[in-house]
Amino acid sequence: MAVKDYYKILRIERTASSGDIKKAYYRLIRLYHPDICGNTPENLRRFYEIDEAYKVLGNLENRLRYCILLNQFFLEELFLYKTLKIPYFNAKRKSRPEGRMVIEY
């Protein structure tokens, strides 16, 4: 299952405030509105995609649900890569010097 990245659609950071989300939404809606930039299929697709992203990220409860879903998706992808026979994840690591914290993915 693929999850749309609404943050990328609105061109904002994941730590953006609700005010930043609103500003990005209004800026992009003006760019892709069918009455302003033409009624082409690509503009309509982008317009509805931006509107969908704002409906999810603009509401705090929906945004929290989306963040949980997004984190689950990334964790499942990480688990999938670890179970596959990929040399990077399955290679024997050299021992590291003590006193350094190393996080392996």
pLDDT tens for 41-58 read 888 999 999 999 999 999
pTM score, whole prediction: 0.68
Confidence of residue 81 (pLDDT cuts 50, 70, 90): low
* Spatial contact of 28 and 41, defined as CB atoms under 8 Å apart: no
CA 40 – CA 9 distance, rounded (Å): 19
Domain assignment of residue 33, given as a range: 6-90
CATH of the domain at 27: 1.10.287.110
Report residue 20 CA to chain centroid gap: 16
Give the dihedral of Cα atoms 46, 22, 69, 49; nearest 10 deg.
-10
The answer, yes or no, to whether residue 62 has pLDDT greater than 70, is yes
The answer, yes or no, to whether residue 96 has pLDDT greater than 90, is no
* Spatial contact of 46 and 32, defined as CB atoms under 8 Å apart: yes
Q: Tell me what percent of the residues of the chain surpass a pLDDT of 70.
A: 74
Q: Tell me what percent of the residues of the chain surpass a pLDDT of 90.
A: 43
Q: Could you tell me if residue 95 is inside a domain?
A: no
Q: Could you tell me if residue 98 is inside a domain?
A: no
Confidence of residue 73 (pLDDT cuts 50, 70, 90): confident
Q: Could you tell me if residue 43 is inside a domain?
A: yes
Among residues 3, 13, 6, 8, the alpha carbon closest in space to that of 53 is found at: 6
